[in-house]
Every structure is written in structure tokens, then in C-alpha cells.
Structure 1
Amino acid sequence: MKIAFFTETFLPKVDGIVTRLTKTVQYLVEAGDEVVVFCPEGCPDTYMGAKVIGVAAMPLPLYPELKLGLPGPAVSDALENFQPDLIHVVNPAVLGLGGIWLAKTNNIRLIASYHTHLPKYLEHYGMGMLEPLLWELLKAAHNQAVLNLCTSTAMVKELSEKGIQNTALWQRGVDTETFRPELRNDNMRQRLLGEFSDEGSLLIYVGRLSAEKQIERIKPVLEALPNARLALVGDGPYRQQLEKIFQNTATNFVGYLSGEELASAYACGDAFLFPSSTETLGLVLLEAMAAGCPVVGANRGGIPDIITDQINGCLYNPDGKNEGSESLIQATQAILGNESQRLSMRKAAREEAEKWGWRSATNQLRNYYTDVIDKKYDGQSLSN
């Protein structure tokens, strides 16, 4: 097959969407498919045998790390030269809309996928009143596609309820070779602790430091558990505010880590806290679990697909008393309070992650592609 991706985010940016895309491209090429990726400028020219075409882009005001590509004639010419069997638009915005238009005008089969729960982000930036309008725009874009893929059962259900048609599940995946428990070591643990002593439990968060991630919800946990320490791995526009919020607490801002250092950081945590209630999936949770770290996540969005409460981690209610702080404290205590239970959760977390390899996820995607190209898809939900 010949597949053209249109994505609003790609390398060198690092996030869950880029991780999924890079792994997908890798396994598509290994399977013998030809792949072209259209993405914002600043990208490499090639990746794992796929051609990557950078498009002039401008930063999104609320999300400066996200650049909106502006498709021009060069994109149309490159697509005509490639002659794809199918266009896959990832999180359609400006560049994605260009991909949708090119698919329609050139009679190319079109798939779209939904990864970022933007309507729910709006309330964290003081623009919640625009949520109904954004859903209408998303519906208009996604309903141009033959098939709309979501990364969790909750998102399949929610998009269907919002009027987005022909939804199906694109199964989760994680790199269990990179992320593994054996990378736990004293040197990385001390790096995560920073100036704080290793006398209690080490809580970790990995991801973008931004308002919608609701990281400030971890502060009451530190106040309730005075022997706990927190390592925040990552960076983003909310860092300065978070430094003020967590002032005078046992919190270390580690910054970005990648590769084996990141995998080691996951493995060194006693519990991974992910308070966000806006996640379509939460790939970092799977990475933590692959590293054998028990996780705490919100009982919202795609997270319950990953966490089996009290087995491989704990779910908390983000809408409970004091904006979920009591529930988050209790979930964290459930992991930290019983050593034998925590060890059991570490083992169960790894076992859950081992079920979800990227090769399997990409094989499922290729089956969707084949059915769409062969026009076997009749507008009803495909089997998941």
C-alpha cells in the first residue's frame, strides 16, 4: 500500500501522538508499505524509510509548541507524484484540512484519527464557551472520512455521541523493549530526587507541563504524605506557574528526558501520578506500566481502558471532593501503603503492558487500511 499521512505534529516534537506515528511508520515500512508524511517544517527529511515533507507553519497562540502547517501548491504536487492509495489525517486542523480537501478533490480514500481531546482543553484556557462550536468544526472535518479511528473505547463512544460517524478503535501500543523494570537504579533515582533525601516514596509525573494536565492536583498528595517526594519530568508553558504552586514542597523539576534515561526514570518511581482528566488514551501510563511502575490515573476518557483499579494501578475520581484531591490522595495511599500490594501491582502493570506491542497495533491499522482501500467498509463499525 501507499499511505500519505497529514499530521499537525511530528519530529522533532516528542509527545504521545508522535510516538504512535513514528512506531506506526516504522512497522508500515517493515511490512513493505510506502509512506509519505506531511507535517510542520523543522522535521527530518526521512524517517525509518519514509519520506517526510515539511510544510511552512506558524505556532498556535495557546499552544506555541504546536505549529499549524499551511499547505500550498508544493503539497499538492508532492501528493500527485506519490499517488497514494489512502490518506490518513491525524488530528485534523489546518494542515489536516488540506489533507481532507486533497483526498476529496483527487478521489483518494480518507481515514482520520482523533488523539487530542481539544474541546476539553478549552476550559483550562478560559474558553469553555467555545466547546460546542469546536465540536461542530470537528464533526464537519471528521465526517469527510470513510473511517474515524480513536485510541480508546471512551473516545469511540463520545465521538459517536457527538455526531462523528464511522468510528472504530485503534488499539493502544507501547515499546516494552525500551521501557522495562530492569532499568531501575540508584543513580537515576537520586537524580529524580534532586536535593531531597530518599527517606520516603518517590512519586513521578512524565509529560507536558501545561494547564490541561492538571498537575497542581498532586500538591495536596504531597501535603497529605509528608515523606513523599515528587519528580516532574518534562517541560512546557505552565512550568513557571507550577514552580510557584509547588514552592516549599519536596518537588524536583527534572526537565525533559528521553531514551533509556526516560525509561529508567519510569522504573525508579514508586508510583506514577497522572491527574489529567482530558486524555484520549494516556500513552505515558502504558510506558510507566511497562517499566513496572504502578500508576494512578483519572477515571475518565481513555484511562480506564488501561488501568484495572487495585490490580495494576488505581483510578481516582477527578470530580470528587475538593476537585478530586481526596480521591487522588486515597488512590496514591492505596499503592504506597502496602508493600506487598505495591509489588503485586508492579508485576501486574508490566504484564498488562506486554499485551500491547506496536507491531500488533500497526497490523490492526493495516487491516483497516486494506478494508477501506478495497471498499469493504460499508459505513458500519468495523470489528475492533
Structure 2
Amino acid sequence: MRVAIVAESFLPNVNGVTNSVLRVLEHLHAEGHEAIVVAPGAREGQEEIPDYLGFPIHRVPTVKVPLVDSLPVGVPTSAVDGAIRDFQPDIIHLASPFVLGAAGAFVARQQRIPAVALYQTDVAGFATKYHASALAHGVWEWLRTIHNSCQMTLAPSSPTIADLEEHNIKNVRHWGRGVDAVRFHPFKRSEELRRQWDPTGSKKIVGFVGRLAAEKGVHRLAGLDERSDIQVVIVGDGPERPLLEAQLPHAIFLGALGGEELAHAYASLDIFVHAGEFETFCQAIQEAQASGVPTIGPRAGGPIDLIEEGYNGLLLDVDTFVEDLPGAVDALLNPEIHAELRENARASIANKTWDALCRQLLDSYEEVLEDTRRVPLTIIGQRPELPRWAARALGARVA
């Protein structure tokens, strides 16, 4: 199979979209398939890689977006059309399409190639968080145009699927996220690392891992930072870091970590907290659970499917998250149940490997291809048509 992946984000920028694309590429490589990636280029000071596992990466220029400049946006150009036309894929995979992915959706329709879109980012929620709620309606109209031009949309959680269907996005199926259960493991817990964080050895370690941006809600951990019996540890970087360092003056900020450093950091926590309500999945929660760490998250979005209350963690209402967080942390740290919660956290990811998830993804590709063989796109076309102004803006060919 020949797969063209159009990714809204990719290396050297590391986030949930990038990580899932990397795992898909690794599976395609292991199974002997062919692939290319169309992705945003690196920003100034970053190093681009020309390929991944031998799969070529075709870059487009990037621009910075105010307030979210840690996530460069790829500028659609005719290079998207050219790369896909030259490769002649069997199917196009759109990873979190919005700007560059919209160009990929348009090219798929123009070239009569079936496409699968993966919904991974709550852009409408982000618009609200960044005080642009008036844009949310337009965002949903744009997403509906993109996703309904594809043959299938895959979404990572039941609340996300319900949200998409409520906004009239068609043919939505569930596709979660796998976790590396070897890298993220309770055995990676490090007493040496814990002593570096708390030389007294008397505090419980509560942490967060992720991008330090407004939509992640990290400031909601400030109440824990004031406690003498808790050490807050923050892993990650982003535009909010200076503000968060002021709001959580006693917290330890480790910056962005990867590989074994990240695995040891996860496993050395006593509690993991993710406070942002705009997660379509929340891979960080799943990685913490694989590391044997009980988790706390909002009763919204992806965490609802990942946290089983009283078994591997707790869900808190968004409106009262700050007030409820200290009590929730105390409940999970109860010495009578904490060890059991740690075991349950690890057990909850037993059937969530990337191999299983990627096999499911390829089954979705095959289903779309089979449907296309029965009813060719040249006969039924693809709906809906993009407006001509949008097509021109995306740099694609317009008849």
C-alpha cells in the first residue's frame, strides 16, 4: 500500500500529532508499505530531517500564529499537489487537518484519491481559550468542509465522536492512541530522581507533562504548589512557561524531555494531573498510566475514556477543578489504596499497544479502499466542494 500522510505538525516539533504520525510510519515500515509525509518546515534554529525510516518528507513554509507560536503552521502551496501527484498514493492520511491538511483534502478530491482524516485537535476549543470564541462557529464550518470531503474520519474518544456528529461531520469511527508499554513502565521509577526533586524525602510528587500553553490549564496546579507536603514537577516547554514559573514559584520546571529521561520522570511521580479541558484524547494521561501513576483529569474530552474513577484515578468537573484538586490528590495518595491504584493504572493500558492501534488503522484504510473499488470516486465524486477562494488560498489547482 502507498500512503501519503499530510501532517499539520511533524518533527522537529514534538506533540501528540507528531507522535502518532511517527508510530504510524514505523508500522508502515515494519509491514513493508510505502509512504511519504507532507509537513510544515522547521522554524529558524531548528534542524529538519529529510526522511524518516527512508520515507521522504516534503516540507512547506511555516508561519507563526499569535499566542500559539510554539506550534508553527504550514503554509499550503502547490508543492502539496506536486508531491502527492508524483507519489501516486493509494490513500491519503490527513493528520489533524486544518490548514495544511485542508490542502491535502482538496488535493485528494482533485486527484480522486480516497482520504482518511484523523481528528486530533480541538481547534474550536482552543479558539475559545484564546479569547476568540466568535471564531468557533467558523472553525466548525471549516472542519465540516474538510472532514466531509474525506471518506472517513477517525476520532480518539467517545465525547469527541459525539461532538463531531453534533456538528454534522459524517462517517466518524473510533481510533484511539497506542502507548509504548515498554518505554513507559513502573520499573522506570527512580528514587535518585525523586531525591533530586525533594531532598527531604518527605513530600509526595505531583506532576504534569505536556506543552506549556494556555489550553493545558497548568495554572490550575497552583494550589498544590502552595503545600509544604507536595512537590510539583512540570515537564514540558511552551509560551506559557514564564507566566507559570511566576504562578507556581515552588514548582520544578524540567523543560521538554524525551526518551528514557521522560520515562523515568513519569514513573517517579506519585500523581499525574492534567487540567486542560480541550483534549480530544490526552496521550500524556495514558503514558502516566503505563508508568503506574494514578491520574487526575477533567470530566471533559478524551480523559473521560481513559480515567476510570476510583480504579486508576479521578475526574473533576471543569468549573470546580481548582477547588476540588487538593482533595482529589489527598484521596489518591491515601496509603491504604495508593499501591493498588498504581497497579490498576498499569493494568488499564494492557490492550492499548501501538501495534494493535496501527493494525486497526490499516483496516480502516482497507475499508475505505474497498468502498472506493465498489463505487469509484470518479463516479460519485467527493463532497462538499471547497469554495473557489478557499481553493486558491490553498494553492491547489482550480479548473
C-alpha distance in 2 between matches for 1:144 and 1:19: 25
Partner of 1:340: 336
1:327 to 321, 324, 329: 324
1:241 to 231, 240, 243: 243
- Which string of whole-angstrom CA distances, capped at 9 and with x for unpartnered residues, describes residues 228-280 of structure 1? 11001111100111111113xx3111111110010000010010111111110
C-alpha distance in 2 between matches for 1:120 and 1:106: 32
Paired residue secondary structure (1:64): coil
2:220 to 217, 220, 229: 217
Paired residue secondary structure (2:10): coil
Paired residue secondary structure (1:319): helix
Aligned residues: percent identity? 33
Report if aligned partners of 1:204, 1:232 keep a CA contact under 8 Å in 2: yes
Once the 2 structures are TM-superposed, how far is the Cα of residue 178 of structure 1 from its aligned partner? 0.6
Partner of 2:234: 232
1:92 aligns with 2:97: yes
Paired residue secondary structure (1:23): helix
What letter corresponds to residue 339 of structure 2 in structure 1?
L
Q: In the TM superposition, what are the counterparts of 1:261-272 in structure 2 within 5 Å? A: 261-272=261-272
What letter corresponds to residue 259 of structure 1 in structure 2?
G
Report if aligned partners of 2:108, 2:114 keep a CA contact under 8 Å in 1: yes
Paired residue secondary structure (2:32): coil
Q: In the TM superposition, what are the counterparts of 1:25-36 in structure 2 within 5 Å? A: 25-36=25-36
- Which string of whole-angstrom CA distances, capped at 9 and with x for unpartnered residues, describes residues 159-206 of structure 1? 00111111111122100011111111122223444xx63311111111
Report if aligned partners of 1:318, 1:327 keep a CA contact under 8 Å in 2: no
1:109 aligns with 2:106: no
Partner of 1:203: 206
C-alpha distance in 2 between matches for 1:57 and 1:36: 19
1:61 aligns with 2:66: yes
1:129 aligns with 2:118: no
Report if aligned partners of 2:60, 2:75 keep a CA contact under 8 Å in 1: yes
Instruction: Provide the aligned C-alpha RMSD in A.
Output: 1.7
C-alpha distance in 2 between matches for 1:355 and 1:92: 28
TM-score by length of structure 1 reads 0.92
Paired residue secondary structure (2:118): strand
1:46 aligns with 2:51: yes
Partner of 1:382: none
Once the 2 structures are TM-superposed, how far is the Cα of residue 76 of structure 1 from its aligned partner? 2.2
C-alpha distance in 2 between matches for 1:211 and 1:315: 20
TM-score by length of structure 2 reads 0.89
Report if aligned partners of 1:171, 1:364 keep a CA contact under 8 Å in 2: no
Report if aligned partners of 2:73, 2:99 keep a CA contact under 8 Å in 1: yes
- Which string of whole-angstrom CA distances, capped at 9 and with x for unpartnered residues, describes residues 62-100 of structure 1? 311222222333332221221101111112222111111
C-alpha distance in 1 between matches for 2:317 and 2:224: 14
Partner of 1:161: 166
Paired residue secondary structure (1:218): helix
Report if aligned partners of 2:190, 2:268 keep a CA contact under 8 Å in 1: yes
Once the 2 structures are TM-superposed, how far is the Cα of residue 138 of structure 1 from its aligned partner? 1.1
- Which string of whole-angstrom CA distances, capped at 9 and with x for unpartnered residues, describes residues 205-234 of structure 1? 1101111111111112334x4311100111
Report if aligned partners of 2:282, 2:303 keep a CA contact under 8 Å in 1: yes
Partner of 1:276: 276
Report if aligned partners of 1:221, 1:325 keep a CA contact under 8 Å in 2: no
- Which string of whole-angstrom CA distances, capped at 9 and with x for unpartnered residues, describes residues 301-352 of structure 1? 01011110010111111123xxx2222222211111x113111011011111
In structure 2, runs of 5+ residues without a counterpart are: 43-47, 381-399
Report if aligned partners of 2:207, 2:233 keep a CA contact under 8 Å in 1: yes
Report if aligned partners of 2:197, 2:231 keep a CA contact under 8 Å in 1: no
Partner of 2:187: 182
Paired residue secondary structure (1:157): helix
> Bigger CA drift: 136-145 or 61-70?
61-70
C-alpha distance in 1 between matches for 2:119 and 2:125: 13
